[in-house]
A and B are shown apart, each in its own frame.
Chain A
Amino acid sequence: EAGVAQSPRYKIIEKRQSVAFWCNPISGHATLYWYQQILGQGPKLLIQFQNNGVVDDSQLPKDRFSAERLKGVDSTLKIQPAKLEDSAVYLCASSARQGVSVNTEAFFGQGTRLTVV
């Protein structure tokens, strides 16, 4: 079974530039998550989609971050404009049903490592 695919793997941009990340979840997975992991910290949820609808975006900095999952499959996360503190790994994950439980695992992609200089 193919895993969660993310691209690019690495990205270096200057502050105030824009950047976009792409995620293709495991086929058939209804729920998709974007997490931000700053070095030395655990992943922090940015946004959760159920099919093409947003379930939770309470921690998404909406003044600069946006995300969409138009057809309920793959998703893009955009930062515009980027700040130095946005340097992090952006992880995409998916799960088969709505949310996770002891019976529903979330699978992570390898992440996109963003460096803002």
Chain B
Amino acid sequence: RKEVEQDPGPFNVPEGATVAFNCTYSNSASQSFFWYRQDCRKEPKLLMSVYSSGNEDGRFTAQLNRASQYISLLIRDSKLSDSATYLCVVSGLMGANNLFFGTGTRLTVIP
């Protein structure tokens, strides 16, 4: 079983739509959680950290459910520039605090 699992998509949504991505992780000892964004042929970049109480950054909202080992990302009012692959990332496994990535969910926002 993979440490981090997410729906690979693709998700094709119109501009202005709300879209949600989900992710599950297998190790309850995981300590930190993130969403990274990766544009085509570019490196991953941190979109936002995910806090236990949930957190919001503009149009983006991240939620964490430790009991269900589930992480979500909600994007409101989608823009064309939001088109990218969104990677669910977990750290704290194996005590080394390195990053374990999901496969990524590909989002295309359509005009």
Contact = CB atoms under 8 A, between A and B. Distances in A.
Interface of B: 4, 8, 31-34, 42-46, 49-51, 87, 91-92, 94, 96-104
Contact of A98 (B49, B97, B101, B103): B97
A108 B94 CA distance: 21
Given A42-B104, A55-B98, A106-B46, 18 more contacts: A40-B103, A42-B87, A42-B101, A43-B87, A45-B100, A48-B98, A56-B94, A100-B32, A100-B34, A100-B91, A100-B97, A100-B99, A101-B32, A101-B91, A102-B32, A102-B49, A102-B50, A110-B42
Contacts of B100: 45
A108 B44 contact: yes
A58 to B, nearest CB: 7
Contacts of B91: 99-101
A114 interface: no
